[in-house]
Amino acid sequence: MIRVRIAAASGVIRAGLESLLRSSANLEVVDRAPDVVLADVEFQQDGLPGEWLGPAAVVLLAPGPPGPWMADALRSGVRAILPRDVPASELIAAIEAAAAGLVALHPADLNALLSAPPRAGRAPPMEPVDALTPRELDVFAMVAEGAGNKAIAWKLGISEHTVKFHVASIMSKLNATSRTEAVAIGIRKGLIML
């Protein structure tokens, strides 16, 4: 039995995914200690925020066209990236593959990824040089939940500019080029607990 946690900003999407996964005899929807995290995320220019836990494999449902963020996400430990309109059978197969340690991509995304020119001068993620401040950890936790800058600012009672500053600082300290990569690094380093 593969334990799957669903991470989605929308309750409606979360309920739909849960219903779909419960129809499979091999999958169990859980809140803690998952084998796989299924994350439905919103596209942003600087990356894809998501919600992940510890050593769990991550399967992303991402809207929009493939882009350079995909390579960064895969380097960060994401095991599958699929479009939101993927058939249920393919989604379940990707979850099973991710749980087995395999990587699953939609064929169109794979073609785009393979045809993209390599990016020069990209350093691999390194250990954080500086520890994150308590406020940065608050912001980081909300980024991991998929909240946008405006929502974070409203919930924490700070300006959107301050949120952008904290996000930039977090990404710099983690040597991340996108929010997706920052969250994946944060999970591996134990900075994010959901």
Which pLDDT score is estimated for 150? Answer: 92
Most confident of 78-82, 109-113, 125-129: 78-82
Tokens of 172: 């710099």
In this chain, the answer to whether the domains covering 2-115 and 134-188 adopt an identical fold is no
With 70 as the cut, is the pLDDT of residue 100 above it? yes
Write the DSSP assignment of 14-77 as a string of letters.
Answer: HHHHHHHHHT-TTEEE-SSS-SEEEEE---BTTB------TT-EEEEEE-S---THHHHHHHTT
Torsion angles phi and psi, residue 37, rounded to 5: -110, 125
Domain borders along the chain are 2-115, 134-188
Asked if 190 contacts 163 with a C-beta cutoff of 8 angstroms, the reply is no
With 80 as the cut, is the pLDDT of residue 46 above it? no
Partners of residue 57 on adjacent β-strands: 36
Which pLDDT score is estimated for 132? Answer: 83
Partners of residue 62 on adjacent β-strands: 83
Whose structure tokens read 């799957």? Answer: 4
Percent of the chain with pLDDT over 70: 77
The residue-averaged pLDDT of 11-27 equals: 89
With 80 as the cut, is the pLDDT of residue 24 above it? yes
With 70 as the cut, is the pLDDT of residue 42 above it? no
Which pLDDT score is estimated for 43? Answer: 39
Partners of residue 104 on adjacent β-strands: 80
Strand-by-strand arrangement of the 57-62 sheet:
27-29, 2-8, 36-40, 57-62, 78-83, 104-105
Note the pLDDT tens digit of each residue in 172-192: 888 888 888 888 888 777 777
The residue-averaged pLDDT of 140-146 equals: 87
Percent of the chain with pLDDT over 90: 13
State the average pLDDT for the chain: 79
**pTM across the whole model:** 0.56
Pick the CATH number of 2-115 from 3.40.50.720, 1.10.10.10, 3.30.1020.10, 3.40.50.2300: 3.40.50.2300
Which pLDDT score is estimated for 115? Answer: 62
CA 50 to chain centre: 3
- 78, 166, 169 from 125: Cα distances, Å: 14, 19, 15
The residue-averaged pLDDT of 122-134 equals: 60
Asked if 1 contacts 26 with a C-beta cutoff of 8 angstroms, the reply is yes
* Fold for the domain defined by 134-188: Arc Repressor Mutant, subunit A (1.10.10)
Asked if 181 contacts 47 with a C-beta cutoff of 8 angstroms, the reply is yes
